[in-house]
Structure 1
């Protein structure tokens, strides 16, 4: 797409995970300031054990673009966060969404979704559906869409759509390396690019990548999706 690159500041959102069966309720409040930013205040009561002076801070306040409370639905998260990024991708600009948090904080549910209900599907399947719907409406261009699935673990990149996954251990597969060309374009060496002609094919690749994804009990993961769209006039 011609014209200058759109540069936008990083938008940061927070989502409060619902309580599990045996989890104790935390003390927090959500509010807005004069600039329409959302504030999240977390209260951590001091341990007032007898004979022990504790001057530890009790109140922690953070600002976000928007805060999704425990009752927030997957559709609302998609509409606020992912749909604008998908629209930019359709206009010719790359976009990235990633979820950050410790193990068990709900990243996979937000990004990929839950398997129990159709309404629990997350950002990636909803975005794939939205993109293919928009492409079908555009009869003036011919589009090709490709899917890659990369895992970064211990500072190494692994291609989760490598067909040799079933026969090889993750460590034995070719490492995906990041390279930069003279024009400062980023290339991922050894990362497969598989064509997906429709939503079903894209979702099948997502399922295949999820199946191949290595699961470790204790680690902080970065889970995300990066959109790059090529179209032929």
Structure 2
């Protein structure tokens, strides 16, 4: 048997302070995990269960470079996120055991074509075109969990062209990381190479050509991205 063509793999993510690279298998994202962000977009806060959506590995984009303004949108938004990198199997795990599956953490951006997302929501359609597109899942270098310590009130922030736009703490999350992993493990056999984008604090907004985005989570390698002209 021979393959008709090669399919490009998602770029492996650097691991801070090493020559190692983290290969990416799947990308899971949780929506409305910060109450203030849900309210700023006119959404109700759902405390019954996390709201999940996916991005294809082809959407992955490494920090430090530039991306063209995405096609098909006139209102692309940044969403700064704390990303969890899974390094071991997890299936139907309890929150108390969920952190055993974590390899490390990274800064991330969930880029969103807000106009397409809103149009889909208004019609009751899935969000796919608003959320899953090339360069829509930006990620910085991964810090191993052993070098990060516990998740508490670390600052999470996004700076656009030198101005702070998002500024919150990880303790603002509605669903904690152990709760997110446990819930997702009821739906999937999680495994090494999976990424979980854990939601964004308030302050999301549009990007324009020429913008420089800088994201940080206290204790992690920062993230940087420049927006260039549309193709």
Q: TM class by shorter-chain length?
A: under 0.3
Q: TM-score, normalised by structure 2?
A: 0.26
> Is the strand fraction higher in 1 or 2?
2
Bigger relative contact order (CA 8 A; separation at least 6): 2
Give the helix-richer structure, 1 or 2.
Answer: 1
With normalisation by structure 1, the TM-score equals: 0.26
